[in-house]
Amino acid sequence: MRTDNRIPIQSTTENRTMRRHHTARYYAHRVKESLTTRVSKLICTIVLALLFLVGIISFILWLSLRPHRPRFHVEDFSIPALTQGSGLENAQIIYNVTARNSNQNIGVYYDSVQVTVYYQDQSIGGSPVLSSFYQEPKNTTIVAGTLSGDTLKLTNERWQQIMADRAGGQVVFRIDVVSVIRFKISSWDSKHHKMHADCPVGVGPDGFILPIYKDKRCPVYFS
């Protein structure tokens, strides 16, 4: 029993000494290790904070420099020949659409502008308007003109359909303004974009635009 008792005691003492040695080394190691982790954690935090800052700055720059597409509104549209009930020989389509550059600091180059009028998804005429021009920020350009003669392609059959619609109270057309534009951001010019403004427009039996279609904003898309 004594031997049995001594052996455990001895071994416990040995264990204690060993543990003390072990513990000292262990703590030295631990301190070193925690220092390394703390330094790497600090570096990680700094890098993440920098990334976050760069992200916020880019987001703000993007928000302030992001170009808005120009806004188009139908101001006026008429086919006087509808009132007169006359034939289509001298028919004219008179249109007036405004294009506004709503950007604060971004200009828009219009390289070309083409107006086409559709009736039941068939082109009934169109022509190029305006020569290429530069639109300053916060400026509005009037896209107005008349389609007649060569630029108006109405067949007798279509005219009959239009007259039938007129008897129903309104005739609906669609003005498609197609332009090729570039944005001017500071001294940098963007690539060319083909832009469509698609404006539905209805006229009454008198041939003049109906109030609900006036001053309406046209959907704009790029193709």
State the nearest-atom distance from the C-beta of 130 to ligand NAG, in Å. Answer: 12
The distance of closest approach from Cβ of residue 142 to ligand NAG in the complex, given in angstroms and rounded to an integer, is 5
Contact with ligand NAG (CB under 6 A) among 65, 75, 159, 182:
75
| Binding status of residue 130 toward ligand NAG by CB under 6 A | no
Tokens of 206: 């008198």
**Minimum distance from CB of 190 to ligand NAG (Å)?**
20
161 touches ligand NAG by CB under 6 A? no
Q: Give the chain's largest Cα–Cα span.
A: 133
Q: Which residues of 62-94 are buried (b: 16+ CB within 10 A; e: fewer)?
A: eeeeebebbebbbeebbbbbbeeeeebeebbbb
| Identified binder of ligand NAG from the candidate list 139, 151, 161, 190, rule CB under 6 A | 139
Answer for which of 80, 83, 92, 96 binds ligand NAG (CB under 6 A) is: 96
**3-class DSSP assignment, residue 207:** coil
Between CA 50 and CA 127 the distance in angstroms is 54
Cα end-to-end distance, the chain, whole Å = 98
Which amino acid type is present at position 157? E
CB of residue 146 to ligand NAG, shortest distance in Å: 9
- Amino acid (one-letter) located at 150: D
Q: Which residues of the shown chain bind ligand NAG in the complex (CB under 6 A)?
A: 75-76, 96, 98, 136, 138-139, 142, 144
